[in-house]
Amino acid sequence: MDLHEFKIQVFPLKNKLFRLANRLLGDSEEAQDIVQETFIKLWNRREKLDEYRSVEALAVVTIRNLCLDKLKAKKYPTERLENLKSDIPEPGTELRTDLSELADKIKEIIWSLPEQMKTIMQLRDIEGYDYEEIAGILGMNENAIRVNLSRARKKVREIMINRKLYEFQSN
Amino acid sequence: MNFKVIEELVEKFYEGSTTPAEERQLRDFFSREAVPPHLSVHADLFRYYAETGKEELPDPEFESSFLAAIDEVPAIPMYSRKKQFFFLTGIAAAVLLLAGMVYTFRNDVFLRSSKKSTETEIAYQQTKNALAMLSANFNTGLDQAQKLENFQRGLNEVQKLQAFQKGIDQMNKFSKFYQYQQIIINPGDKPRP
């Protein structure tokens, strides 16, 4: 793959890759560096890129692995669900939130999910990949992907409803 | 749109059984402003999805800085990097081996020249004496060997004598023949002793 083809096939992936990295690392500057690193890794393998069925899938696998390495090396303090539940605000403190505030809250809830759920949710619900593609990227079977995704969605809904209840009460 | 249909799709969504097309349908529906309260939780989630999906990598210079980065990194294909790695590893191993040998050798010489110097001296003297003795004895040995050579020569002479002896035996046979001839010619005569 030459530079011209690389620009056509790999450059447009930058935002998708950035979103995944940002979701996994929770730091947009680091996410950006990781996208750069991913691009360079792919560029160094440019001779073999044509052998892959999907350069995009390879790019996602690459950036996920880089993110996991980074997380392992840094031992990021990822909040667990238990911590988050106790973080539910006191009744009456929350009024109707605007969209960006709400987005931050949901982002926080998703951040508390285990990495695999986060990745699956990101790839499916944000990027619109089908189960087959996600199964290929994560090296799992499609049913396991579906089960994990269902759990992730339900978990997010559960936490959201818990918070919403207080809002309804305050109204 | 019929809320019943949406409610069913939402249920399917949480079970993970909606298709991407159905999920797009839900997203479109919830992106509209008016959503009944019992669906607002799902509306929030889908709005979050829609918003997050628009998130972009912030650095506008990203592509050019990548291009600069790959210009800095020389375009070495992976396989030749591997080769380079093995080559360097080989050199490193050779250097280590050499260093190890030099270290061991130096250690040996050091020990000889300091601790064991007197022992070495004695050993040297003893060896020298032994060699001198050997050489002296060797000379006498040589004389003996020369004598042996003479003996050998003598032996050769003796062997010649043996040949002579054979000749004598032949002659003796002749003399016996002569005796018997005499007996035949003169039967009365006693054979000579």
Which of A50, A77, A104 is the C-terminal boundary of a domain?
A77
Confidence of residue A93 (pLDDT cuts 50, 70, 90): very low
**Same domain for A88 and A70:** no
Tokens of B48: 């979050």
For the domain that residue A53 is a member of, what is the CATH number?
A: 1.10.1740
**Same domain for A167 and A113:** yes
Number of H helices, E strands in chain B: 6, 0
Q: Does B51 touch chain A (CB under 8 A)?
A: yes
pLDDT of residue B111: 59
Q: Does B17 touch chain A (CB under 8 A)?
A: yes
**Same domain for A163 and A116:** yes
pLDDT of residue A145: 97
Q: Does B63 touch chain A (CB under 8 A)?
A: yes
Q: Does B12 touch chain A (CB under 8 A)?
A: no
The dihedrals phi and psi of A126, each to the nearest 5 degrees, come to -95, -50
| Region B158-175 average pLDDT | 82
Please state, rounded to an integer, the average pLDDT across all residues of chain B.
82
pLDDT of residue B110: 59
Domain boundaries, chain B: 3-58, 117-187
Range of the domain at A7: 1-77
**Same domain for A29 and A57:** yes
For B66, other C-beta atoms within 10 Å of its C-beta total 21
Q: Does B13 touch chain A (CB under 8 A)?
A: yes
A111 versus B124: the higher-pLDDT residue is: A111
Q: Do A19 and B78 touch (CB under 8 A)?
A: no
Q: Does B191 touch chain A (CB under 8 A)?
A: no
CA dihedral A40, A46, A50, A52 (to 10 degrees): -40
Query: Does A77 score more than 90 pLDDT?
Result: no
Which of A47, A77, A107 is the C-terminal boundary of a domain?
A77
pLDDT of residue A92: 44
| Region B122-150 average pLDDT | 81
Return the top range by mean pLDDT from B19-23, B80-84, B138-142, B163-167. Answer: B19-23
- Its ipTM equals 0.81
Quote the percentage of chain A above a pLDDT of 70: 81
Query: Does A164 score more than 90 pLDDT?
Result: no
3-state SS class at B111: helix
**Same domain for A123 and A51:** no
Quote the percentage of chain A above a pLDDT of 90: 70
Tokens of B136: 């002296």
pLDDT of residue B82: 72
Query: Does B13 score more than 70 pLDDT?
Result: yes
Query: Does B40 score more than 80 pLDDT?
Result: yes
Q: How many domains does chain A have?
A: 2
Query: Does B46 score more than 60 pLDDT?
Result: yes
pLDDT of residue B166: 82
Confidence of residue B49 (pLDDT cuts 50, 70, 90): very high
In this prediction the pTM is: 0.60
A51-70 residues touching B, CB cutoff 8 A: none
Q: Do B55 and A15 touch (CB under 8 A)?
A: yes
| Region B16-45 average pLDDT | 90
Question: Measured between CA atoms, how close is A72 to chain B, in angstroms?
Answer: 24
pLDDT of residue B188: 66
> What is the DSSP track for A82-148?
HHHHTTPPPTTS-----HHHHHHHHHHHHHTS-HHHHHHHIIIIIT---HHHHHHHHT--HHHHHHH
Chain A residues with CB under 8 Å of B58 CB are: 28, 32
pLDDT of residue B189: 57
A90 versus A133: the higher-pLDDT residue is: A133
Q: Do B45 and A164 touch (CB under 8 A)?
A: no
pLDDT of residue B108: 65
- pLDDT per position as a tens digit, A7-62: 999 999 999 999 999 999 999 999 999 999 999 999 999 999 999 989 999 999 99
Chain B residues with CB under 8 Å of A156 CB are: 45
Which of A31, A62, A77 is the C-terminal boundary of a domain?
A77
For the domain that residue A151 is a member of, what is the CATH number?
A: 1.10.10.10
Cα gap A147→A41, rounded to integer Å: 32
pLDDT of residue A101: 78
Please state, rounded to an integer, the average pLDDT across all residues of chain A.
85
Pick from A81, A76, A101, A99: nearest CA to A26: A76
Cα gap A145→A150, rounded to integer Å: 9
**Same domain for A118 and A167:** yes
Query: Does A138 score more than 50 pLDDT?
Result: yes
